[in-house]
Each structure stands twice: as C-alpha cells, then as structure tokens.
Structure 1
C-alpha cells in the first residue's frame, strides 16, 4: 500500500530554493505527485465502493432467489390444494344431485301413499310396495 507523506500535503506554499527564490519546477513536481497520490486514493475508494455495491447486489440476488423458491413451493402447494378442493367439489355436487333425485322419488312415494290410502279398496298398495322396495336398494 502507498504510504502518504503528510509533509507533501501540509506545505504552506511553494518550495523555495536556498537562495530564497521559488523553484517552479519543484512546485510542479510536488503538485503532480500530490495529484497522483490523490488519484490513486480516489481510485482505491472507487474500487472499495464498487466491491461493496457488488456484494450488496449479490446478497439481494441470493435473497430474491430464496424468495422465488419459496413462492414456487407455495404456488405448487396451492395448486395441489386447488385440485383437491375441485375434486371434492365435484364429488359433493354429484352427491347433491343424487340426493335431490332420491328426495324427489321419496316425495313421489309419499304422494303415492296418500293417494293409495284415499283410494277405495287400496288398489295402489302393490304399486306402493314395489316403489318402496326399489328405493330401498
């Protein structure tokens, strides 16, 4: 790593030669050296920021992948449950239709019984018994 000499940044002004005059060449060298050091430090900070940003993006990517897997699992589970509910719904509708038919038959049988009881001589007794036997099976 580059070690910075604080004296290069803290100099109060241009460097003077032993005779007391300014040495413009030395001042330019110092300025270039300070600029070079500053640029290197700036580039290092930029690399650190870039690395940190990349790591944050990688962490976010991992988090989103895990979330995506979780959502896929939940969607599969919900799809399976939907299939089961739909199958059960179909079964219940079929059972309901069968029960409605049976109820209709029982109502007809009750009506037939009332008619047979009201009829002289009970002529419908045999029909009633046959209808009742067919409903028992």
Structure 2
C-alpha cells in the first residue's frame, strides 16, 4: 500500500496524500469538531516536497521488521498511543510494551495517531509521569 501511496503522491500531489492520511491520523471526533487542527495537519502534509513524501513512504515499505530487537532495549521506554490510532493500533503498542523489558504504555483516550496534537494535555501528562518515575 505504501508503494501505491508513493506513486499517488507523484501523480496527484501532496493534497491527495493528505486526503487519504488525515482520516488515518486523526480521530473521527477530531475531524468533525476541530477543523483548525484538520487544516493544520493538512498544511503540514502539503508543505512537504513530493519527493520527500514518496521517499518516506518507500522507506517505510522497505524497512526490515525490527520487532525482534525490542527485547534488546535496555532503558526505560514510554510508549504512547492513541486509543483510535489506525497506523499503530493500541494492540500493536501493547505488544511492543510487552516485549520491551522496562516499557510503560499510555493509551490516550479519544485520540488517533497524532495524540500529541489531539489531546496535548493527556499526552504531556504521560510524558511528565514517565519522566518523574525515572531514577537517576
């Protein structure tokens, strides 16, 4: 699918990618009630060069599966996922957290993939809580 998206970017431009990606990146409620955030995300996507968008998509399509390496992470990790995240569903985030020895998982209610933009207070609280529990 990412190769097809890269081809679409070259054929139809960043606007076409934004139309496809926004419903995957933001929760339905955000799309319906926060047009300013939808426009902000659209502007971010459309502000990228087509070669960059296509290159990123192709790199993601070709990257090796690094999940087997998760058990080798030896530092505390905070995984943050939106409850309604489509690109990285909460179930995938839970599997990551289970495989990383010292991982914490925070699921942000009502948020999609861009939980830091949709629910910044909850996202920031997850970061603060994680940081305050680290030992020096």
Please indicate the TM-score interval, normalised by the length of the shorter structure.
under 0.3
The structure number with the bigger radius of gyration is 1
The structure with the largest strand share of the pair is 2
Name which structure has the greater RCO, CA cutoff 8 Å, separation 6+.
Answer: 2
TM-score (structure 1 length as normaliser): 0.18
The structure with the largest helix share of the pair is 1
TM-score (structure 2 length as normaliser): 0.18
